[in-house]
Amino acid sequence: MEAGSPQPGHRAVLADAVLRWLDPRPGQVILDGTVGLGGHAAVLAPRIAPGGRYLGLDLDPEMLAAARARLAAEGVPGVELYHANYADFPAVLAQAGVSQMDHMLLDLGLNSAQIDDPSRGFSFDRDGPLDMRYDRAAARPALDLVNALSERELSDLFWEYGQEGQSRKIARKICQARQAGRITTTLALARVVESVVGRGEGGPARTHPATRVFQALRIAVNRELDHLARALAQVAEYLRPGGKLAVISFHSLEDGLVKRQLRSAKAAGQMQEITARPEVADARERQENRRSRSAKLRVAQRLAPQA
């Protein structure tokens, strides 16, 4: 993930580790399911030239436009961009006329260009509509959930996708606040959460009190865990033997899902995790990019099918 708008030379999260583990070679096919601002693409695509294909997918047309501009400005060769859900990657491979890929990369969640744009509704400290959709032409915005779900449903959502310890109290407070009118903006929701959790939790440098609620809504709006599970369930079928899957996750719900799916792929004799423990950012990267602090990279290799 990139910090801010695309800047030449700015490195994507765990880019060196991804490069080292995937070790891409000329002529290979890489499918980048979350191309975002093109940070990983800028590092990986030159390694597969000449003759390689880099297929970059994103649900967010604005990110695809930003990636296109960045990659052109940096002279990165041959990245093919698709407006697509990575859960549907087999359809993209078919469209590209590719039957098998050498590597697949998923750098999960959202990037800071999306967080920094208040009109996207991801940020709890800039006011904007409660939207949170990666693809604004699809799905229902967060305000639909916040205003339509029952107290019980909200509470379950905050607990299940945000592991929010005060989920019940927050859900009750939201339903009380709704009696005065719909909650339609990020700051209005953040204020309701703060009224339950308090502002001072963990000190100013620590987690914002609305972090877990916003995470939960974002996951639900974009059905993030469903898409991840669907992609992981299909990946072995489309990876060449010896090919690799790299997944960067940012919270335990994602990482837990990746770990479980890799375990069952191993039991099925399809994939073997090759990172003995997840790679994490070093001190320098953690210092430069706050979001890298929670990043975990797991890499698995496609095993040769048994004769």
Ligand X SMILES: C[S@@+](CC[C@H](N)C(=O)[O-])C[C@H]1O[C@@H](n2cnc3c(N)ncnc32)[C@H](O)[C@@H]1O
Q: What x/- string results for residues 215 through 234 when contact with ligand X is judged by CB under 6 A?
A: -------x----x-------
Closer to ligand X by CB, 107 or 254: give it.
107
**Which segment (30-38, 158-166, 258-266, 279-287) binds ligand X by CB under 6 A?**
30-38
Least distance (Å) from ligand X to the CB of residue 220?
Answer: 13
Residue 39 interacts with ligand X (CB under 6 A): yes or no: yes
**Which segment (38-46, 116-124, 169-177, 203-211) binds ligand X by CB under 6 A?**
38-46
Closer to ligand X by CB, 36 or 278: give it.
36
From the DSSP assignment, how many helices (H) and strands (E) are in the chain? 13, 7
CA dist list (Å): 124 to 135, 141, 248, 250: 19, 15, 24, 18
Residue 110 interacts with ligand X (CB under 6 A): yes or no: yes
Residue 112 interacts with ligand X (CB under 6 A): yes or no: no
Cβ-proximal residues to 306 (8 Å cutoff; 6+ apart), any chain = 269
CA dist list (Å): 127 to 118, 163, 168: 6, 24, 25
Residue 235 interacts with ligand X (CB under 6 A): yes or no: no
**Which segment (37-45, 153-161, 205-213, 296-304) binds ligand X by CB under 6 A?**
37-45
3-state secondary structure of 29: strand
The rounded distance, in Å, linking the Cα atoms of 14 and 74 is: 20
Least distance (Å) from ligand X to the CB of residue 297?
Answer: 12
Query: Phi then psi for 59, rounded to 5 degrees?
Result: -80, -15
Residue 2 interacts with ligand X (CB under 6 A): yes or no: yes
Least distance (Å) from ligand X to the CB of residue 132?
Answer: 11
Closer to ligand X by CB, 135 or 151: give it.
135
**Which segment (34-42, 94-102, 204-212, 267-275) binds ligand X by CB under 6 A?**
34-42
As beta bridge partners, residue 272 has 301
Alpha helices in 179-303 (DSSP H): 186-197, 211-222, 224-238, 252-267, 283-288
The rounded distance, in Å, linking the Cα atoms of 189 and 210 is: 8
Sheet holding 79-83, edge to edge: 79-83, 53-58, 29-32, 101-107, 239-249, 296-302, 271-273
Residue 63 interacts with ligand X (CB under 6 A): yes or no: yes
Interface with ligand X (CB under 6 A), residue total 25
Q: Which residues bind ligand X (CB under 6 A)?
A: 1-2, 12, 33-34, 36-40, 57-60, 63, 85-87, 107, 109-111, 134, 222, 227
